[in-house]
Structure 1
Amino acid sequence: MRSLQILVVDDDDADALMISEALEATDSNATVERVSDGREALDYLRREGKFGDAQRPDLILLDLNMPRMDGRETLAAIKADERLKAIPVVILTTSGATPDIVSSYQHRANAYVTKPFGLDDFEQTVRQIDRFYREVATLPTSND
């Protein structure tokens, strides 16, 4: 089994911490980096500014509702960029609104997951995402 390089794009400190802790409690050895909005995510992914030495993630966990640049705009920018569009993006958000779900898939999200409210359920959901992308899915490899 491989370990994943995961980029968490979420402005909620508590949710980002729960994601990291859920992954640490598994045998995945995932490396988790976190940015708090879409602009930072694009800088990270494009290795710009303070992210010049950033590692290309195997997987992006993207929240929709964030300041400055929200997840909808971020998803559209990632999937429009030839260098980034192959990176799987899982929308992990509190919104269960049909327009958000439809829009995310129209902008080529790889999956849409609504954040569960209970801590145990939230951690289990994150572990299932990790397990799927680590053990079941075949991910693209990158030479950069």
Structure 2
Amino acid sequence: MAAPLTILLVEDHPGDVRLVEEAFAESDLHIDLHAVTDGEAALEFIDRDGEYVNAPRPDVAFLDLVMPAPDGEDLLHAIKHHPELGHVPVIILTGMDEEYVESQDLDHDADEDGVLQKPFDIEEFRDLLAEFEGVALPIARAGD
């Protein structure tokens, strides 16, 4: 059996965190999910600081753009410019449509690797997992 795929989820809405956890739990994917609920915790996780001193390095990051400071764009920049994490695929998980995200003036030196619409219920999240498997898993596993 392959090692689990380590996922960092940065999401400030508890309901969305729960949907992600439930959807991965019901999937056949072998996932080690780590959820943080704000930008400060995300920075501590990626810098292995504070309570995250022993945090694993994520294979993939799911990132909500709209959150308290530091916001998703700042976190995207921090991950993509981190000396150990610059290669990690970052998937924007947002309630905004992909065209809106593409229209934002994101740091083009730190482009996201994909944009997925946040689903509103568990059924839609299961469909999202199928999209994730097709898009993000090959990107993440390319480094193996």
TM value normalised by structure 2: 0.85
Offset at residue 33 of structure 1 (A): 0.6
How many residues are paired up?
A: 140
State the 4+ residue runs in structure 1 displaced beyond 4 angstroms: none
Match of 1:84 in 2: 85
Distance 1:38 1:126, change over 3 A: farther
Amino acid at match of 1:39: E
- Unpaired runs of 5+ in structure 2? none
Alignment of 1:1-144 (within 5 A): 2=2, 3-96=4-97, 98-102=99-103, 103-104=105-106, 106=108, 107-130=110-133, 132-134=135-137, 136-137=138-139, 138-141=141-144
**Range that drifts further, 98-107 or 115-124:** 98-107
Q: For each residue in 1:29-61, what CA deviation from the matched residue of structure 2 results, as whole angstroms up to 9, or x when unmatched?
A: 201110012221121011011100101111100
Offset at residue 95 of structure 1 (A): 1.2
8 Å Cα contact 1:38-1:69 kept in structure 2: yes
Relative contact order (alpha carbons < 8 A, sep ≥ 6): 1 or 2 greater? 1
Cα distance in 2 for residues equivalent to 1:108 and 1:97: 13
TM value normalised by structure 1: 0.85
* SS of residue matched to 1:32: strand
- Unpaired runs of 5+ in structure 1? none
Q: For each residue in 1:65-93, what CA deviation from the matched residue of structure 2 results, as whole angstroms up to 9, or x when unmatched?
A: 11121111110111122222111110001
8 Å Cα contact 2:6-2:33 kept in structure 1: yes
* SS of residue matched to 1:5: strand
Distance 1:139 1:37, change over 3 A: farther
Cα distance in 1 for residues equivalent to 2:32 and 2:117: 22
Distance 1:26 1:47, change over 3 A: same
